[in-house]
Structure 1
Amino acid sequence: MTKNSLLLALTSLFSDISTEMLYPVLPIFLTQTLKTGGGIVGIIEGMAITTQNLVQGFSGWLSDKWQKHKKIAICGYLLAAISKPLTGLATGWPTVGGARFMDRLGSGIRSAPRDALIASSTDEKNRGKAFGLEGAGDNLGAFIGPLVAVFVIFILGFSLRSVFFLSVIPGTIAVLMILFVKEKKVPISSKTKLDFKFRQFTLNYKKYLVVTALFSLGNSSNAFLILQSRDLGISFRDTIIIYAVFNLIAALISYPAGHISDKIGRKNMLLLSLLTYIMTYVGFALTKNLWAIGSLFCLYGLYQGIFRSVGKALAADFVPQHLKASGIGWYAATIGLSGLIASNVAGQLWDRVSHEAVFLYGALFACMGFFAFIFFVQSDRK
């Protein structure tokens, strides 16, 4: 554990407290306060996921070109912090969509350069642990954030809109945390350029992106998990608490998963995460038991913690040091573009077919991604 690794984990902790104070509240705010449907939730979340992840590709390229990872990351954290209160002012869903876009734009700007800082903070044999530590901070923040929202709404009796204004506080602390990170200069053997043909990257990296895209075509927004819980009769408060527990499990598994991937290989751990995802989504499609839903959220937390930390670490393994931000950024962009399709399809399935169809659709593409990963992607590590 280096000082930079710890500071970056704390940055993710406070940033995600800010974000996750809002995330489980947002679909309820849209459907119950602003009276929108699942289709609108899908559009907003699809746009948000795409913005966040697609921008990472450009942000990663730019930060590699300038070798200014820290400064670009600070801009992203600041933009995300400023955007949070705007949702509280919304009287219609377009304003919420605009605020969500601004928030995810900031997240997209910061993520790839931050991940490059993580990759350079330790050597390759400990890279999984470094990403696992950041993932633990991120998911721990995602556990604390919803609990803060529950405390503010149900204990202090504040309005739903007040949560959006209060979330700026941890967002500002995240900006302060990253200011103390010391950026290491990396020797540049060649200038990176914006190359949509990906000539700079290895064939195995490109295969990894294709397989990731295939899986992500069914990986819609977590907002549909929240809406499904509410529709099955779980209270607003308990839905937020269950979502918080899901993030706690993801936080607890992130660091061990990264550490284990350093030992047994990233590919094995990612296959385990995809298998867990399939089991979870099939369970959401088939069960209406409230206790089972809680258990499935816990299982989904295992997937989230493993996939987030190990997936990025494997992307970093496939690219040279001077292209770390670009490699991780295009990986995230792939998830984002596929997630746009997934969330929009899920929104239409939710409104026009059935709620169960959303989860069967996700499980189908996860199955295809699972087998494609086995046969087409070779891990660079044993």
Structure 2
Amino acid sequence: MYVAESRSSKAPVAPAGTPGRRVAALRAVPGTVLVLGTVSLVTDVSSEMVSAVLPLYLLTGLGLSPLGFGLLDGIQNGFSALVRLVGGHLADRRGADGAARHKAVAAAGYGLSALCKPLLLLVHTVPLIGAVIAVDRTGKGLRTAPRDAMISLATEPAHRGRAFGVHRAMDTAGALLGPLTAFLVLRLAGGPLLADGGERQGYDAVFAVSACVAVLGVLVLLLFVPNRQPGDEPSTVAPSLRDGLTLLRLPGLRRLAVCACLLGLTTVSDSFLYLLIQRQLHLDTSLFPLLPLGTAAAFLLLAVPFGMLADRIGRRRLFLAGHSVLLVAYGLLLSPFSGLPAVVCVLLLHGSFYAATDGVLAAAAADAVPAEQRGAGLALVGTGQALARFACSLLFGALWGAVGGRGALAWSAGALALCVLGAAAVLREPAAAMPDPDPALDAVPSPANEVAP
């Protein structure tokens, strides 16, 4: 395991290509980020194990309709997004030593999710399973903002894109390993046989192993993540929830949040996109379960390089470029091309989109928020984007029913193109943000004061 270490910003820079330069590049990612990446990797293995078998368990085992499952999943995802605001606010509250409570709130979120895994062994009805999943999503909502706040506070501003890229790459590695682990557990347990009261030992084995893995993630967080990050200065200020909402008066954060919401409203959900890939590109249905793995593999390979690129050319620029890449993927789906090569290209573009936007948006938001309210600021942007994408799923589903999948995608692509052009005019990377955008934060008023729009 790694522990956080302090680094001097005045250290001499070695010439490009030398071993010293490569060592300096590794040190740009502090130990706290690596530990949090390990926690996310382990937790994602646990979560994706359950996610991989839950639809089959609910639909074929317990008789839930696809519409009911989609509604259940959508409501819980929307609720999780709203809980992010609470998590960000609680994380910024100060303890007796004046330090923020990022680690405590993140641990509570990870702990809630870990608690839900063994509960799945005890509940056997759809309402109870839905309640357990809701608590799990609550834990996810609580931990996201404080976790990202710890990453941003532990990392020098000039290297935040790389740090978030490393974290997202490790997180995605867990998302890849989770379904594979569930598959192996099911094979060893004899496979799922649940139907009209049949045996369920395969599902129980997955839930039990997932619970053990989740507990391991919580232990890593508690034992190896420091309580205070280098960028978290002691403070007696206790920001209120209203103070968190007034962060939108900061011009940089407001522009970023508005653009993230607008672009989120035109971002087709993964499930719909994979269904379009299968239908538009005439992919064999037996290969459909492999589509998410293709996106995740591209995301894993590109998250770190794109994070480093964001530190060099500007995080907002790369965020917009990522949506332009997604637009190219939509165009390829609407083109006459089909077959496996087209599928591979679309998945590569889809994974590139996530690598250029997911962690990069968090790094860009951290640049625009004062350290004492980092959790609340990140939660505002993340919640807005998540709710916008949830609304997009509802709108896209309705549009699909009216004009078909291809027509719905054409409308979404046109709207995305307009939003990218509009966001490009709004999100101009300030010259002072290259390579270190944080000095301007010194002039940001305290959360108790009102900030001019």
Residue 9 of structure 1 aligns with which residue? Answer: 37
| Alignment counterpart, residue 303 of structure 1, candidates 317, 331, 353 | 353
Distance in 2 between residues matched to 1:78 and 1:51, nearest whole Å: 18
Alignment-derived partner of residue 144 in structure 2: 111
Greater mean alpha carbon deviation, residues 370-379 or residues 181-190: 181-190
- Tell me which amino acid in the other structure corresponds to 2:353: Y
Asked if structure 2 preserves the Cα contact closer than 8 Å seen for 1:143 and 1:246, the reply is: no
| Match among 204, 207, 211 for residue 259 of structure 2 | 211
**Which residue of structure 1 lines up, in the alignment, with residue 240 of structure 2?**
193
Structure 1 length-normalised TM: 0.88
Q: Distance in 1 between matches of 2:388 and 2:209?
A: 32
Find the aligned partners of 2:268 and 2:73 in 1 and give their Cα distance. Answer: 9
Identity of paired residues, percent? 28
Which of 202, 208, 222 aligns to 2:270? It is 222
Contact 1:60 1:329 in 2 (8 A): yes
* Matched-pair contact (CA < 8 Å) for 2:108–2:142: yes
**Could you tell me how far apart the structure 1 residues matched to 2:56 and 2:270 are?**
13
Deviation at 1:183, TM superposition (A): 2.4
Structure 2 residues not aligned, in runs of 5+: 1-28, 95-99, 193-201, 435-453
Select the structure with the greater relative contact order (CA < 8 A; seq sep ≥ 6): 1
State the match for 1:346 in structure 2: 396
1:245 and 2:287 correspond:
no
Q: How much does 1:321 deviate?
A: 1.0
In the alignment, which residue of structure 1 is the partner of 2:445?
none
Q: Tell me whether 1:336 sits opposite 2:411 in the alignment.
A: no
CA RMSD of aligned residues (A): 2.9
Deviation of the 1:215 alpha carbon: 1.3
Structure 2 equivalent of residue 158 of structure 1: 191
TM-superposed deviation, 1:64 = 0.6
SS of equivalent residue, structure 1 residue 158: coil
Label 1:197 to 1:371 Cα distance change in 2 as closer, same or farther (>3 A). Answer: farther
Aligned to 1:202: 250
Relative distance call for 1:91 and 1:234 in structure 2 (3 A) is farther
Contact in 2 for aligned 1:247/1:301 (Cα 8 Å): yes
1:72 aligns to what?
105
Rounded to whole Å, the distance in 1 between the matches of 2:138 and 2:102 is 16
Give the whole-Å Cα distance in 2 for the aligned partners of 1:112 and 1:151: 33
CA positional deviation for 1:105: 1.0
CA distance in structure 2 between the aligned counterparts of 1:197 and 1:61, rounded to whole angstroms: 7
Map of 1:2-151 to 2, 5 A cutoff? 2-27=30-55, 39-66=67-94, 67-84=100-117, 94-151=127-184
The answer to whether the 8 Å contact 2:244/2:377 transfers is no
1:46–1:221 CA contact under 8 A, matched in 2: no
User: Is residue 2:318 matched to residue 1:269?
Assistant: yes
Q: 2:324 is matched by which residue type in structure 1?
A: L
Contact 1:40/1:347, CA 8 A, preserved across alignment? no
Q: After alignment, is 83-92 or 8-17 more displaced?
A: 83-92
Output the amino acid matched with 2:346: L
Number of residue pairs matched by the alignment = 381
Given that 2:277 and 2:333 are in contact with CA atoms closer than 8 Å, whether structure 1 keeps it comes out as no
Distance 1:335 1:97, change over 3 A: farther
CA contact (8 A) 2:298 2:347 kept: no
SS in 2 for 1:199: helix
The aligned amino acid for 2:260 is T
Amino acid across the alignment from 1:113 = P
- Asked if 1:323 corresponds to 2:356, the answer is no
In 2, distance between residues paired with 1:198 and 1:128? 25
One-letter amino acid matched to 2:74: G
Distance 1:207 1:99 in 2: 37
CA contact (8 A) 2:263 2:416 kept: yes
Distance 1:263 1:187 in 2: 31
2:244–2:373 Cα contact (<8 Å) kept: no
Q: Secondary structure of 2:342's partner?
A: helix
Q: Check 1:222–1:85 CA distance in 2 against 1; reply closer, same or farther (3 A cut).
A: farther
C-alpha displacement of 1:205:
1.0
Inter-CA distance 258–141: structure 2 relative to 1 (3 Å threshold): same
User: Residues 42 and 346 of structure 1 are in contact (CA less than 8 Å); yes or no, is this contact kept in structure 2?
Assistant: no
In the alignment, which residue of structure 1 is the partner of 2:305? 256
The Cα of 1:194 is off from its aligned counterpart by 1.4
Report the TM-score, using the length of structure 2 for normalisation. 0.75
Relative to structure 1, the CA distance from residue 277 to residue 24 in structure 2 (aligned partners, 3 Å threshold; closer, same or farther) is: farther
Q: 2:214 aligns with which of 160, 171, 175?
A: 171
Partner Cα distance (1:60, 1:300) in 2: 29
Q: Secondary structure at the match of 2:428?
A: coil
When Rg is computed on C-alpha atoms for both structures, the one with the higher figure is 2
How far does residue 311 in structure 1 lie from its aligned partner after superposition?
Answer: 0.6
Structure 1 unaligned blocks of 5 or more: none
Query: 2:124 & 2:219 partners in 1: Cα distance?
Result: 32
CA distance in structure 2 between the aligned counterparts of 1:278 and 1:63, rounded to whole angstroms:
36
CA offset at residue 101 of structure 1? 2.1
